Amino acid sequence: MTGALFRSELGRALRNPLLWLVAVAVHAAAVRTRLSGTAAWAPDLTIETVDATGDALFVAAGVLLGANLAILRERRMPERLAALPGRPADRAVAVAGAFAVLGAVVAALQIAAYLVLRIAQGSVGGHLDGFEVACGVTVAALAAPLGVALGRWVPSLVAAPLVLFALMLLTLLNRNLGGFGGWFLPLVLIRTTDGPARPSELHLVYLVAVGVAGVGVALLRHRSRRRGAVLGVVLTALVLGVSTGAAAQARPGPGPDGRAAEGRAGTDCRRIGAVTYCALRGYTGWIPRWAAAVAPIEAALPASARDGLPTIVQHTAGAPGDTTGSVPVWSVWGRGASERPYRDFLAGDVAARATGLDTGERCDASGQARTVVALWLLGQVTGRAAGPATITVTIATTGSGGRTLVTRATPLGVSYGAGEIEHASRLLTMPEAGRRIRAHWSVLVDPATPIARALPLLGLSGHHHDSPLGPPRCA
């Protein structure tokens, strides 16, 4: 009997456009907000698996409403159901089962569609946690027994919307501010690149326990000989749920601002050419992208200068660490057209360090020959002499769309003017520029060498008018 009811309810649920509309709209929103425009970032699975399960929360909302309405159908048309042979308990199980299966399938499809799309884009960073995905799927499934239990005990059409309002609000507030229920909520959407591990496996047990308790609570409404057994199952599930929730809550967690509460997870270093790249554990997939920004500079340097190139080290925004002797990259890297500022930021750092400049120092490097060389080196990556405009990159994001930014006054950090840009532009058009720069390297990168003396060495004609820009001269 329950089997036939289950198939009939599943058919009705499949024809209900609500869930499909929610799934398509949420997928469209995810693609629009996270994969396009200035947010077109390289895939970071540690972060995006959690975001994708957050999308499943909307599917869960649809499942809860759908299951609730299906149960309340008995009150809306009691005269049509009175003649049915099935008992209310059978109908409750059938509705809960049908919506749970459908919700799990829709959520799994939606999460998989997003993650497959991201992984197919290549240059994947981060770690795909199967437990997180399972939590997202389970949330969509357990919404069905909750909707059924609600319909049986509070048979009002507004009960489900109000419960959804409360759960959504708590989840959003918890994501944005922390607190507000923590791991007792359906999902915790706070995520960091480098925080302590999320207790996703404990949370999965918690969610399954809540789902089982939901079915039991719905069945307790009806008279049955198995009532004692059902009560036992509900109590066991509740004890299990409360204890796993409390255990997950007791683990050290990341704060809402993305700052890790614990130390770094460690780095994986690789050497490509003369440069060492150290990625946070799991992010070695981004090393080829960083190398693409550094390799043209490395190739343009004389062999003696290549050994002095800094190590490229990935940092999290919350724990910037020590960056002397190394060049930082962060928890975000661009993709497609959005990659350009990230590439320029890193290449500018490397070009400046290679010529003895320091991007961290706000000094005036105009009139120095090494500034022209640094701009020419940067031009090997960008294809042109970069103007002294500010450059900004995102180094961390929060689930609510917040971003942590770093800004540099010019691509090289130091100040320079139109004269330096013009010389570098002309150098970039000269095929023998590289040979000349390598031949006179030690003279050209000497801070004491003025541009006027470097011009004949570089094979450039004309004069240079040196006018100080304001900040103290770079030493």
Partner 1 sequence: MRLTVLLVRPLARALDWGPLLAVLAAGLSTSAIVEPRTGSALLVLRMIAALTGGAAAFALVDPMDAGTRAAPVGRGRRQWIRCGLALGAATGIGGGALVVVANRVPTPLPVGGLAVEMALLTAIGLAGGAVSVRSAPGRAAALGGLFTVAAVVGASLLLPDHYTPWTGPGDARWDHVHHLLAGALAVPVLVLALANREGVRGLRRRG
- Which residues contact partner 1 (rule: CB under 8 A)? 18, 21, 25, 28-29, 32, 37, 69, 72, 76, 156-159, 161-162, 165-166, 168-169, 172-173, 176-177
Sign of CA dihedral 305, 310, 311, 313: negative
Rounded (5°) CA angle 386-389-393: 95
Q: How far is the CB of 69 from partner 1 (least distance, A)?
A: 7
When the beta carbons of 177 and 319 are compared against partner 1, the nearer one is 177
Compute the least distance from the CB of residue 13 to partner 1, in Å: 16
Query: 232-237, long-range: CB within 8 Å, 24+ apart, which pairs?
Result: 237/209, 237/210, 237/212, 237/213
What is the 3-class SS of 408-439, one letter each residue?
ECCCCCCECCHHHHHHHHHHHHCCCHHHHHHH
Report in angstroms how near the CB of residue 177 gets to partner 1 at its nearest: 6
**Whole-number minimum distance, CB 196 to partner 1, in Å?**
24
Spatial CB neighbours of 338, under 8 Å, sequence gap ≥ 6: 37, 38, 39, 40, 41
Contact between 342 and 327 (Cβ < 8 Å): no
Q: What is the DSSP letter of 310?
A: P
User: Own/partner pairs for 230-237, CB < 8 Å, 24+ apart?
Assistant: 237/209, 237/210, 237/212, 237/213
Distance CA 417, CA 273 (A): 33
Nearer to partner 1, 119 or 173 (CB): 173
Neighbouring CB atoms inside 10 A of 423's CB total: 24
SS3 state of residue 156: coil
Tokens (6 digits) for 391: 């450059």
- Closest to partner 1 by CB, 72 vs 421, is 72
Shortest reach from residue 77's CB to partner 1, in Å: 8
CB of 88 to partner 1, least distance (A): 19
| C-alpha dihedral, 412 to 417 to 418 to 419, nearest 10° | -100
Toward partner 1, which CB reaches closer, 72 or 142? Answer: 72
- Give me the helices (H) in 199-302, please: 200-219, 227-250, 287-300
Closer to partner 1 by CB, 112 or 177: give it: 177
CB 274 within 8 A of CB 298: yes
CB of 190 to partner 1, least distance (A): 15
CA dist 354 and 327 (Å) reads: 11
- Helices (DSSP H) in 77-129: which residue ranges? 78-81, 88-120
Least CB distance to partner 1 at residue 281 (A): 33
Q: Which is nearer to partner 1, 174 or 314 (CB)?
A: 174
Tokens of 259: 């700052």
The CB-of-166 to partner 1 minimum distance in angstroms stands at 7
Question: How far apart are the C-alpha atoms of 137 and 108, rounded to whole Å?
Answer: 6
CB closer to partner 1, 200 vs 397: 397
Q: How far is the CB of 244 from partner 1 (least distance, A)?
A: 26
Nearer to partner 1, 171 or 314 (CB): 171
Which of 14/31 has CB closer to partner 1? Answer: 31
Give the residue from 63, 65, 66 showing the smallest Cα distance to 142.
63
Q: How far is the CB of 159 from partner 1 (least distance, A)?
A: 8
Q: Which is nearer to partner 1, 173 or 240 (CB)?
A: 173
Which helix (H) or strand (E) segment holds residue 373: the answer is helix 369-382
Nearer to partner 1, 304 or 392 (CB): 392
Q: Nearest approach, Cβ of 68 to partner 1 (angstroms)?
A: 10
> Count of H helices and E strands in the chain?
17, 6
- Residue closer to partner 1 (CB basis): 187 or 287: 187
